[in-house]
Amino acid sequence: MNIPTKNFTIDHKSKLPLHVQVEELFRKLIKMEPFNKGALLPKEVDLANLWGVSRNTIRQATNKLEHEGLIVRKKGIGTRVAEKKSLVTGLDHWYSFTREMQEKGIEVINLLLKTENETPNETLCNFFNCTPERKLFKLSKLKGENSDEPIVYFESYFHPRLGVSKEDDFNIPLYTMLQERYGVVVHRSRENISACNAGTVIGKKLKVPASFPILKRERFVYDINGKAVEYNVGYYRSDKFTYSIDITKSAEN
């Protein structure tokens, strides 16, 4: 097996579940040559022996990557990295857009980055349990693969207790910055997803007509203690972004 040993090991003493560690190793592996060029990934039994985990643990991680469209299995042949097509995300992936795309091997850039303080509306006041007199820090981002291909426009508001400011580095994944600078570990997200027309303002940012259909994703983010961290709304171009939903039918009584 052509797998490096450095940084490709499982920490059996870690509190992080084994399947999560294995998943992270796979995400690194599929970006490396020769696997990202179409070579077959190592067999499950070989990886299980190498990392000292069960085949079920390996399968749990690879199942998730397969559902995300990152790998494909062919019976009697093996498993390969999937060819890149459209941008696809699952509802279980609510972390930063930049990191999400990086895991798919897609590099996105900030086409626009703006910070300001804004008076909160009723939704924000209710979520952050604050009054309209308390202005909130707002971060606006337009992201795409290049200047001619915007994909999504985000607006984020943060709880005042965090102290997020324009001095922070918003060119790195947002939740990475929050954890490293403020010790905030995001844990849960409640989301509302709807379809709507772009409208004049958003359409101009995404370079589409006002009547163009877009996906609107409203996100309420909490930390590990259940405290509100961020309110985020994203406007995605429907011709460049797809949501993948994997639903398992519950057992009937």
Instruction: Indicate whether 1 pLDDT > 80.
Output: no
Range of the domain at 180: 91-244
Instruction: Indicate whether 67 pLDDT > 90.
Output: no
Query: CATH number, domain at 180?
Result: 3.40.1410.10
231, 110: one domain: yes
Q: How far apart are CA 118 and CA 188, in angstroms?
A: 25
pLDDT value of position 90: 45
Q: How far apart are CA 177 and CA 191, in angstroms?
A: 22
pLDDT, tens digit (0-9, with 9 covering 90-100), for 112-160: 999 999 999 999 999 999 999 999 999 999 998 777 789 899 999 999 9
218, 136: one domain: yes
Q: Quote the mean pLDDT of the chain.
A: 83
Give yes or no for a contact between 150 and 140, defined as CB atoms under 8 angstroms apart: no
Mean pLDDT of 239-249: 66
Paired residues of 19 in beta bridges: none
Instruction: Indicate whether 53 pLDDT > 50.
Output: yes
pLDDT value of position 88: 44
pLDDT, tens digit (0-9, with 9 covering 90-100), for 78-119: 888 887 654 444 444 555 666 666 555 667 788 999 999 999
50, 146: one domain: no
Confidence of residue 192 (pLDDT cuts 50, 70, 90): confident
45, 156: one domain: no
Instruction: Indicate whether 193 pLDDT > 60.
Output: yes
178, 160: one domain: yes
Domain finish residue from 55, 81, 107:
81
Q: How far apart are CA 248 and CA 197, in angstroms?
A: 31
pLDDT value of position 3: 66
Total count of domains within the chain: 2
**Better pLDDT: 197 or 11:** 197
Burial (CB < 10 A; 0-12, 13-18, 19+), residue 233, is middle
175, 230: one domain: yes
pLDDT value of position 133: 92
pLDDT, tens digit (0-9, with 9 covering 90-100), for 20-29: 888 888 888 8
Give yes or no for a contact between 53 and 10, defined as CB atoms under 8 angstroms apart: yes
CB count within 10 Å of CB 13 equals 5
Mean pLDDT of 178-201: 90
Q: Kindly state the percentage of the chain with pLDDT values over 90.
A: 34
Eight-state DSSP code of residue 191? E
122, 147: one domain: yes
pTM: 0.60
Would 2 be classed as within a structural domain? no
98, 70: one domain: no
